Amino acid sequence: MTLVERVVTAARGCSAVERVVVVGPAPALRALLGTGVDVVAGDGGMMDNVAAALRALPHAPTVLAIAADLPLLTAEALAGFLARCEGDSSLFYPIVPQDAVARRCPGARKTYVRVADGVFTGGSVLLFDPSALERIRGFVERVMAARKKPWLLAQLFGWGTVLRFASGALSIAEMEARAHQVTGLRARAVIVDDPALALDVDAERPENLAVMRAVLEGDRPAEP
């Protein structure tokens, strides 16, 4: 089974997901996935592809964006994340504790961030209000462009926030509040214990492929 088939199977198996739209090379995807899934042609970068998917979902009240390279993703992992997305927010983003990754997928490597609440890695899933796409899009693109350039992050968030973040003193609540100040959007980081939402296929970390293959083959438990 290909990566995209695994992700589509997980999405279709989640009862909270009503419709699945896949963005990419349309003829190949239609031949691979068959009926029951809408396919639209890719339109450039990550947020361009999200926008392309939304054109096929004009009346969706909320949209779940999922990366196509999550080999361990399951319907249960998605349902667990969605069940925690509560409150008045325009954007929900999963973060996974380092010890959850180490416990369930020992040997896997990820980039972790230390904050006052703990040590986390980010997921590759996003739940958001499509009416806020343009504001979300601009914020995400600016953060992606600045993630390795601290002076640009400082322009976006302010030096005080960046320095507290670098020292690990910034809390999740403070980060959410600052994002609200910068964008006007209410965003929430959702702590989940399932590394399936975060472990993607990364060419720079080939050792992760062996870890994920072991989980899929049953040599290591995928559940706590």
For residue 184, being part of any structural domain is answered with yes
The per-residue pLDDT string of the chain (224 residues; one tens digit each, 9 = 90 and over) reads: 888 999 999 999 999 999 999 999 999 999 999 888 999 998 778 888 999 999 999 989 999 999 998 999 999 999 999 999 998 898 999 999 999 999 888 888 888 889 999 999 989 999 999 988 888 787 777 776 765 676 676 677 788 888 888 888 989 999 899 888 888 889 899 999 999 999 888 756 777 777 888 887 875 444 44
For residue 53, being part of any structural domain is answered with yes
For residue 99, being part of any structural domain is answered with yes
For residue 71, being part of any structural domain is answered with yes
What's 13's domain CATH number? 3.90.550.10
Token pair for 174 = 């403070």
User: Residue 29: which domain range?
Assistant: 3-216
pTM: 0.86
For residue 159, being part of any structural domain is answered with yes
For residue 223, being part of any structural domain is answered with no
Q: What are phi and psi of 110, to 5 degrees?
A: -145, 165
For residue 29, being part of any structural domain is answered with yes
Give the number of domains in the chain: 1
For residue 158, being part of any structural domain is answered with yes
